[in-house]
Amino acid sequence: MNRSDAGSPSSTTREALLDAAESLFAERGVESTSVRDITKAAGANLGAVNYHFRSKDLLILEVFARRLRPLNQQRLAGLDELEATQIVPSLEEILRALIRPTVEDETSGKRRTDEFMRLISRSFQESNEELKTFMSGEFDEIIKRFDAAILRAVPGLVKEELFWRMTFLFGALHHGLERWTRFESMPIPPGLDPAHLRPDIEGFIQRFITFAAAGMRAAAAL
């Protein structure tokens, strides 16, 4: 930590670009965000993105990787801890380990920003092919570990059924977070009191886990 100027660990411009891009991607998506928008928001010059990341596509990958990797590490750490203290953790505890890091940074104890949550939700929806491939890779370990834990926690649930239920679960989570984080700007059905309708984030997680756990435990139809 001595060298204060020369070759400082990752230039501040680089970080500024990532931050600006992240914010814009979360709000409008990667397609609707131009390199010009990013450099302007970061207070950098137009050439900066290509200098630091070689192309817009590589910047996109880096923006998502920077957030998704630690997030998934925290998910796995949470499951490790759970399995270290209990033989068979409950389904609700497992789901909480999966979801909580989306909402709170467990290394710092700090609440995630709405922007962060929107970025994560969006990472599932972006049509960028390279991004999808990267995401799937990052997700493999998560799915493997959590699937195994859930199968132990829910007797009678079979792998094929779980595959589709996990798909439903992530769709529900990300659409729910999208709605929760944008609550103010979205219309709500008539007859509901807006002030009373939106729980705090803990309430949201609780509601989600209740819904998802019940879905996971449902008796298979056929």
Partner DNA sequence: GTCTATAACTAGATAGAC
Partner DNA sequence: GTCTATCTAGTTATAGAC
CA 82 to chain centroid, in Å, comes to 21
Q: Residue 124 pairs with which residues in a beta bridge?
A: none
Report the residue number, 5 or 200, with the smaller CB distance to a copy of itself: 200
Compute the least distance from the CB of residue 197 to a copy of itself, in Å: 5
User: From DNA, a copy of itself, none, which one binds at residue 19 (CB under 5 to 8 Å depending on kind)?
Assistant: none
Q: State how far the Cα of 122 lies from the Cα of 174, in Å rounded to an integer.
A: 8
52-60, 77-85, 145-153, 194-202 -> range binding DNA (CB under 7 A):
52-60
128 binds DNA (CB under 7 A): no
Taking alpha carbons only, the member of 82, 49, 99, 116 closest to residue 204 is 99
The helix-helix angle for 159-181 and 91-103 (nearest 10°) equals 40
Q: By CB under 7 A, what part of segment 12-51 binds DNA?
A: 12-14, 33-37, 44-51
List interacting residues with a copy of itself (CB under 8 A). 28-29, 31-32, 124-125, 127, 136, 140, 143-144, 147, 159-161, 163-165, 167-176, 178-179, 186-192, 196-197, 199, 203-204, 206-215, 217-222
Taking alpha carbons only, the member of 81, 115, 91, 112 closest to residue 202 is 112
CB 209 within 8 A of CB 98: no
How many residues appear in the chain?
Answer: 222
The position carrying tokens 């400082």 is 8
User: From a copy of itself, DNA, none, which one binds at residue 210 (CB under 5 to 8 Å depending on kind)?
Assistant: a copy of itself
Q: Which chain residues interact with DNA by CB under 7 A?
A: 7, 11-14, 33-37, 44-52, 54-57
